């Protein structure tokens, strides 16, 4: 009877170890005598005359769930997008909505802060919002066609697949302190930050 209990306990322990090991599997990499690199889940035998034996731990199988495509990731690395804005109303909301609709990954700079305003002035020489920076290029004022062209030139797809959860530019209209100028010299919708 004791033998059966000991045997049962041993089986349970072996099964638990096997279950834990299923997620992290050991792989072996070595070079055989003919110079070929071999990958296997079994250690090489002494008769294999293996050189440069390496043990590696491999995690369990998984499926990539990142919504950012490789093309979008490459565009974001080469031409990062920055939106300069504040809760200025329709122009800033439309600019941000375009980025969200296209799924463009972007960073946001609030020009209501001294740091944000100085960054925008350094980039464009003025405090006109919304402003879009794609890589080293920028556009002041919102014009959907112009912004789409700039994003397309940066390598961003029409639907880049990245969705953000927050809207930076939406606030109650009573909190917005800006002097509206319907258009700039190019006919783009712009707003200047109130000084």
What is residue 169's predicted lDDT score, i.e. its pLDDT? 66
What is residue 68's predicted lDDT score, i.e. its pLDDT? 75
What is residue 165's predicted lDDT score, i.e. its pLDDT? 57
What is residue 144's predicted lDDT score, i.e. its pLDDT? 95
What is residue 111's predicted lDDT score, i.e. its pLDDT? 93
Q: What is the full DSSP assignment across the chain?
A: -HHHHHHHHHHHHHHHHHHHHHHSEEEEEEE-TTS-EEEESSPPPGGG--EEEEEEEE---------S-HHHHHHHHHS-EEEEE-S-SHHHHHHHHHHHHHT--EEEEETTSHHHHHHHHHHHSS-EESEEEETTEEEESB-HHHHHHHHHHTT--TT-----S--SS---GGG--EEEES--TTS-BEEEEP-
What average pLDDT does range 41-64 have in this prediction? 75
Please indicate whether residue 186 or residue 116 has the higher confidence score (pLDDT).
116
- The label of the residue with tokens 């004791």 reads 2
**Mean model confidence pLDDT for the chain:** 77
pLDDT over 80 (residue 75): yes
pLDDT over 50 (residue 159): yes
Least confident of 52-56, 61-65, 154-158: 61-65
What is residue 178's predicted lDDT score, i.e. its pLDDT? 41
The rounded distance, in Å, linking the Cα atoms of 73 and 68 is: 6
Percent pLDDT > 90 in the chain is 37
Please indicate whether residue 135 or residue 5 has the higher confidence score (pLDDT).
135
What is residue 40's predicted lDDT score, i.e. its pLDDT? 83
What is residue 54's predicted lDDT score, i.e. its pLDDT? 84
pLDDT over 50 (residue 134): yes
Q: Note the pLDDT tens digit of each residue in 8-44.
A: 656 555 555 555 544 557 888 888 888 888 888 888 8
Q: Strands 81-85 and 106-110: what pairing?
A: parallel
What average pLDDT does range 44-69 have in this prediction? 74
């Amino acid at each position: 009877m004791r033998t059966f209990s000991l045997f049962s306990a041993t089986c349970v322990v072996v099964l638990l170890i096997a279950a834990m090991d299923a997620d992290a599997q050991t792989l072996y990499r070595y070079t055989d005598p003919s110079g070929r690199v071999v990958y296997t889940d079994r250690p090489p035998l002494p008769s294999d005359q293996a050189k440069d034996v390496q043990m590696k731990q491999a995690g369990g199988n998984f499926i990539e769930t990142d919504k950012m495509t490789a093309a979008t990731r490459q565009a974001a690395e080469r031409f990062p997008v920055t939106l300069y804005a504040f809760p200025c109303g329709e122009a800033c909301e439309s600019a941000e909505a375009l980025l969200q609709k296209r799924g463009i990954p972007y960073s946001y700079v609030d020009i209501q802060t001294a740091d944000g305003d100085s960054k925008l002035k350094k980039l464009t020489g003025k405090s006109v919002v919304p402003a879009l920076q794609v890589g080293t290029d920028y556009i002041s004022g919102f014009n959907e066609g112009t912004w789409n062209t700039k994003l397309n030139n940066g390598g961003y797809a029409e639907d880049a697949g990245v969705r953000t959860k927050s809207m930076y530019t939406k606030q109650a209209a009573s909190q917005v302190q800006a002097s509206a100028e319907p258009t700039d010299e190019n006919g783009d919708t712009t707003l200047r930050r109130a000084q």
